[in-house]
């Protein structure tokens, strides 16, 4: 009897708990699913109108001709015969000062039937011998017509019949997202092609103390050996000369080309006179930093220190002296030598400019200088 009473008491407790849980909303209610052939409940569906129902509708067909990808193979087939592998040789010394011959590989593109070839300055810099290999297998010696370190461009010349050459395009017409093709001697293993898009325009980038401007950034793979090769649009026109890539563990598919519109006047000058004429001050410079300032006991720790002045140069004529520190050029603050180079190159030959400088303890001294034309490398 006692056991039965205890069970009855337990049952009553459980019933009370279940009622309390039900009232507090803790029970899980499963939805009642309608039969598959039952009509939808009007309270569960949005308002529907028959106005746009069309029994004859089908999925639209796609015009494949209007959505086709660019014909990259045709671009490569057309331009590849004008792309060359460039091989250079120079004499270098090892750590024991023993001389040996070092070879390097790059690329170039033939731009006319006379055999002029565009490449990068860094491809041929210091080279004692330069050879190019054509697409048909011919290997020919190449002469260096001229180089320009400031823009990293160079022009070579070969003498051969039946030369294919590429056409130069207009890089000002490029848009971010345009397709691009890079052709070159990637990794020194022969001419190959990669494709990508234009990802940025008008890029400036500091490279080894120099600033390259008006660069085209592309996702087309740029590898060692591609330097100097062409970057092409889908018309098969050269829109840039591949120059550098960013190499880092966290960087992928970021390459740069010198825009062809920036390259054209440099190429023309190199072919016509062997060098590029620019405004000229006539000084040798050192960037001033706290270490240089302390070493030479300078009154400022930023600017450019004149280490040498060429006789009868604009700087010499204006009265500047070795040891002067230039801190402002034509209302442009000068913190380092690159600042000064950029400021000078933004001027015209013959332009008169104001230079603010420091001499010994005298600061903010001013002199006016008339820039001359840069002398040729042979003067």
152 noted as active-site residue:
yes
The catalytically annotated residue of 85, 171, 227, 337 is 227
The catalytically annotated residue of 82, 85, 122, 148 is 122
Between β-strands 325-329 and 332-333, what pairing exists: parallel, antiparallel or unpaired?
antiparallel
165 noted as active-site residue:
no
The b-or-e profile of 89-105 (16+ CB within 10 A means b, else e) is eeeeeeeeeeeeeeebb
The answer to whether 293 and 301 have CB atoms below 8 angstroms apart is yes
- Pairwise CA distance, residues 121 & 227, whole Å: 9
Other residues' Cβ atoms within 10 Å of the Cβ of residue 192? 19
Retrieve residue 298's tokens. 């300078």
Nearest to 69 by CA among 179, 200, 185: 179
Q: How far is CA 94 from the centre of its chain?
A: 33
- Pairwise CA distance, residues 352 & 349, whole Å: 9
The catalytically annotated residue of 148, 152, 328, 339 is 152
The answer to whether 124 and 153 have CB atoms below 8 angstroms apart is no
Nearest to 84 by CA among 135, 8, 152: 135
DSSP secondary structure code for residue 333 in this structure: E
111 burial via Cβ count (<10 Å: 0-12, 13-18, 19+): buried
71 noted as active-site residue:
no
79 burial via Cβ count (<10 Å: 0-12, 13-18, 19+): buried
Between β-strands 210-218 and 279-280, what pairing exists: parallel, antiparallel or unpaired?
unpaired
Alpha helices in 38-181 (DSSP H): 72-79, 121-124
- What residues are labeled active site? 122, 152, 227
């Amino acid at each position: 009897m006692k056991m039965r009473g205890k069970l009855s008491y337990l049952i009553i407790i459980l019933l009370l708990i279940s009622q309390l849980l039900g009232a507090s909303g803790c029970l899980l209610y499963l939805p009642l699913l309608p039969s598959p052939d039952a009509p939808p409940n009007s309270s569960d569906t949005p308002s529907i109108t028959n106005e746009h129902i069309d029994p004859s509708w089908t999925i639209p067909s796609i015009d494949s001709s209007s959505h086709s990808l660019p014909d990259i193979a045709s671009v490569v087939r057309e331009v590849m015969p004008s792309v060359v592998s460039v091989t250079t040789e120079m004499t270098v010394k090892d750590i024991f000062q023993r001389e040996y011959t070092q070879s390097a590989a790059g690329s170039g593109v033939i731009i006319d039937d006379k055999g002029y070839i565009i490449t990068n300055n860094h491809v041929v810099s210091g080279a004692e011998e330069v050879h190019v290999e054509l697409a048909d297998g011919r290997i020919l010696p190449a002469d260096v017509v001229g180089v320009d370190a400031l823009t990293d461009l160079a022009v070579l010349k070969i003498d051969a019949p039946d030369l294919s050459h590429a056409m130069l395009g207009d890089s000002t017409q490029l848009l971010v997202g345009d397709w691009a093709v890079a052709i070159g001697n990637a990794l020194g293993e022969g001419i190959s092609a990669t494709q990508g898009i234009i990802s940025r325009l008008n890029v400036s980038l500091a490279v080894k103390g120099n600033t390259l401007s008006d660069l085209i950034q592309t996702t087309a793979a740029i590898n060692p050996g591609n330097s100097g090769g062409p970057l092409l649009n889908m018309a098969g026109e050269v829109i840039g000369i591949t120059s550098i890539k960013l190499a880092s563990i966290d960087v992928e598919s970021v390459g740069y080309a010198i825009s062809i519109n920036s390259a054209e006047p440099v190429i023309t000058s190199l072919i016509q006179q062997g060098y590029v004429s620019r405004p000229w001050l006539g000084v040798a410079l050192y960037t001033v930093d706290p270490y240089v300032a302390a070493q030479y006991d300078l009154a400022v720790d930023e600017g450019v220190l004149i280490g040498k002045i060429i006789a009868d140069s604009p700087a010499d004529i204006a009265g500047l002296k070795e040891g002067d520190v230039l801190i402002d050029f034509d209302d442009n603050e000068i913190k380092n030598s690159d600042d000064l180079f950029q400021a000078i190159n933004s001027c015209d030959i013959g332009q008169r400019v104001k230079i603010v400088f420091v001499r010994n303890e005298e600061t903010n001294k001013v002199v006016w200088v008339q820039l001359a034309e840069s002398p040729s490398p042979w003067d």
